[in-house]
Amino acid sequence: MADVYTVTFIIIGILLSVPALLVAFNLLMPQVTQRAYTRLDQTPVKSFFLGLPVTGFIVLYSLVAFQASAGLLQTTAFIVAIGGLGIGSIGGAGMARLLAARLTPLATPNSKLTNLLRGAVLYEMACLVPFVGWFLFIPIAGITAIGAATFALLGWVPRPVIGNQLSVIGGESAA
């Protein structure tokens, strides 16, 4: 019976700490999470396609190197896996910021911190939905978040969107 309580309280602790981690990343690294947010908001497809090889490298290298008999390779696999989790957490913080921005017009009272926490909890709850959350939402959102975080850590921001301006093509105006 003690084992059941142990597992139950570990799961509850994880469920409480993930939104706190995402909010903490947003508070401690606002520029990086803002760049990840911008990528997720403006170029989610590019973020997904950058996230594919980055996630693939992290997963494949970690799995292969963990199986090696050399301790140094296992250590590098551990470092790469922890680094990948860190990159994913930064992307998750950007995703929580994106959800918070989209929740702001819907939620009252409006507080940036409250909406950020709401976004983090919403992201976590979407990941917990059986089957759809586990096998569809987590891989797509996770790969996209890793791609956005990679862009953010490299400092690559999308070009500014020029809205509602007329462009002149061959002497004619087109809207």
Residue pLDDT, tens place only, 76-120: 999 999 999 999 999 999 999 999 999 999 988 889 999 999 999
Counted domains in the chain: 1
**Res 1: pLDDT:** 87
Q: Which SS3 state, helix, strand or coil, does residue 10 take?
A: helix
**How far is it, in rounded angstroms, from Cα 123 to Cα 89?**
12
Token digits of residue 91: 């992307």
Residue 102 CB coordination number (10 Å): 14
Taking the model in full, what pTM does it have?
0.87
**Res 147: pLDDT:** 98
Range of the domain at 35: 2-174
Summarised one tens digit per residue, pLDDT across range 153-169 is 999 988 876 765 554 45
